[in-house]
Chain A
């Protein structure tokens, strides 16, 4: 066997990696949360007496907060525990810690929570049975509202040859990282320390400081190896509870969620209803109307950006001369909306792709030709007036169309071939800083993020350094530090690690090479290479040992250090188009075209995916195996969103399928062969023109599958997931 392709692989196959869920500490107590018994109500009392009567048990609730944080006040809108109102079922209302997990659970059960129930708003469409009228933006049920308009929309619809109107519905899906949330906290000498499984140590520090009312400098967050994130581990969650328990107990406390609680408390994508209207004249889109109701659960008013970000993705990457879009973030009694790999984008792509395919068919045009005709090209303006940067989606679509045609010719009866597109802008605007340290024999990248699995830290940053310096990877190492010592970084989310943090590493390396070149006598285009064990600076025919370019102090300190940073910016757009709320412009333009072949069982409605191919615009690839792995994993996750995954709430706000047996993610046998191709040459803002790839692969999947199901069976489905019951009903109404 060849050696491992990832530097963490050998430790991981031997079970030698400590994830957040594996952490423990001498003398620690075990924590457990006390969860609200109803989805909405006035909190009458939380009686901790019976729990506290048990030996060794510490119990805390809202009334204990001021004493635990020395009278400071945290964010009044989001205290750790609710003071008056329960906003969702299983909202933590108290917490306990005990010497064993069994005793902690027993103590949690002994806490008496009295709540006067209030009416539960669980179903989005029960909150707004009719489409909200003007002025609903100010309703207590609306967390955020966005409304934008361009051109003479009403006139375009009046004068159109064809108008197509449809309503789509999408389901709530869960991240299902296999490692549950877990952390160990300790409060010692005025310092609040927490080790945790997180995509963002600095984000946890900032959130915890805000929730607890403690200065950020008193909190130290140390990331552990992360057993999958997918957006679910991006902000603080358990850490404030664990810190409060540790403070109350005067001992370290471990707090972890059971997998059932992962589902019940998890913050993720919630259901939506979308109305799409398109006016077509002479084979071209004349105008579009898009209206979105997005369930944001118990998100705080004014704090939700999901609608403002998503509304552009519902227009899609298509030339649209006139449009009106309106989005409502609707509050219900569910946990707050939270990010799930490309938050809500796979749902947006399903809606816009399925709708435009339907529109094309209604006017007798080939759907892919119709889409290709309208697709943005670099240099175009988006409907919001933002300039389109280098964009490989048109090229990806061309390649996908050719393969789809071939597959169609080969497909047996009962099979169908579909194409779905996905557009995304990665979060490379969020800031990052890094330091690098070069010794005579090793290059070290110092930064704050732990590896979450994609390889973006442990492989991606190293690949950037290899490419910038020329040094082989086995001489480049990533070193991690806690938030007290590491340079700031926003987090491993939004497909931003290689683009933004990698950009910071690249800048630090360029500074480092510049410094060495200067010392060596102003050499041009310097790089590094090996001469035996020694690293040498190379420029043309000149070679100088790094050892000879460092001062004695630098050698003693482990090498010469350089710093870099990356703070990207989103593009500008025509703000006069926004009537109300906030629209979020894009930092870069990336996309993918996917082709799926499916077989549909007309009796049972079950869909089997036979084969799959994906073309991705990634700018420049820095590590091909990791890039391919991202696409394979993202497609598989998207197949879950497309076909099986749906978190189902009852009318009284109870999650009915809180577990991996009833909430079905794809298993090994359900994944078809996936062919991956990269479309290079459309540079992004990352190092060497790299674009992010963590999120894009999931985006086109539900659209591609829906298109293939329609081709196979004739069923035009407007609701995710395409579960057998829905497919069967569409084929044979009963």
Chain B
């Protein structure tokens, strides 16, 4: 049960995580979506970085939109569909993004990689592939990478655009 206001309780609607229903009645109201997927569901592909919205490593899709799971309370998104890096390969856009990152070698330590894959997948799903290249890159600005200098990530985005053409 979840406290819905003073003296009011209502059952929390389950999440749908990577196609699987997940009850959240037992999840504390102040738990972050990041901790629910990582430690409650064991989906460790979603990375914990700064926990303050500053690095993008924890990005997941909530109803198809790229979302920082560290700044999202689990109960805030009750009833929603959540896609993590473990499930994004089932999505045709997500699987193409993954393939592009792997083929180009836009991966070094790999800690930021799931966040980048989720953010780019979300942007492409939301805006479609007609989004200008520069705007797409601008909108990836919230995802930090310390290894690649972003150069190979930009090449992966470019290769993806090329392949979609």
Please list the residues of chain A having a beta carbon within 8 angstroms of any beta carbon in chain B: 1-6, 8-10, 12-19, 21-22, 24, 175-180, 225-230, 258-259, 451-455, 625, 629, 632-637, 659-661, 665-669, 671, 673-674
Contact = CB atoms under 8 A, between A and B. Distances in A.
Contacts of A179: 47, 49, 109, 111
A226 B109 contact: yes
Contacts of B101: 9, 13
A15 B141 contact: no
B112 interface: yes
A637 B108 CA distance: 14
Contact of A455 (B46, B103, B108, B113): B108
A178 B98 CA distance: 20
B85 A259 contact: no
Interface stretch (B9-17, B19-27, B50-58): B50-58
A19 B45 contact: no
Given A225-B109, A453-B110, 10 more contacts: A12-B113, A13-B98, A13-B99, A228-B147, A455-B108, A632-B148, A660-B144, A668-B145, A671-B150, A671-B151
B47 A661 contact: no
Question: Which of A3, A22, A180, A225 has most B Cβ within 10 Å?
Answer: A22
Given A1-B99, A15-B114, A669-B141, A632 B45 contact: no
A15 B149 contact: no
B52 A228 contact: no
Given A13-B117, A629-B152, A632-B148, A1 B109 contact: no
B54 A660 contact: yes
A668 B141 contact: yes
Contacts of A674: 149, 151
Contact of A659 (B48, B52, B108): B52
Contact of A1 (B108, B143, B159): B159
B159 to A, nearest CB: 7
A712 to B, nearest CB: 22
A13 B107 contact: yes
Contacts of A661: 52-54
Contacts of A230: 146
Contacts of A636: 148-151
A183 to B, nearest CB: 15
Given A178-B47, A179-B109, A259 B52 contact: yes
B4 interface: no
Contact of B52 (A21, A455, A660): A660
Nearest to B112: A178
B102 A15 contact: no
A478 to B, nearest CB: 16
Contacts of B44: 15, 18, 22
7 contacts: A14-B89, A15-B46, A179-B109, A453-B147, A629-B108, A633-B147, A660-B50
A665 B147 CA distance: 12
Given A178-B49, A632-B152, A669-B138, A15 B86 contact: yes
Contacts of B74: none
Interface in B87-136: 89, 98-105, 107-114, 117
Contacts of B159: 1
A177 B52 contact: no
A178 B150 contact: no
B111 A9 contact: no
Nearest to B50: A259
A177 B153 CA distance: 17
B107 A8 contact: yes
Contacts of A5: 103-105
B107 A667 contact: no
Nearest to B110: A12
B137 interface: yes
A75 B81 CA distance: 54
B73 to A, nearest CB: 14
B100 A1 contact: yes
A22 B143 CA distance: 20
B107 to A, nearest CB: 5
B154 interface: yes
Nearest to A230: B146
A1 B163 contact: yes
Counting from the closest, the 3 A-B pairs by CB-CB distance are A15-B45, A453-B109, A636-B149
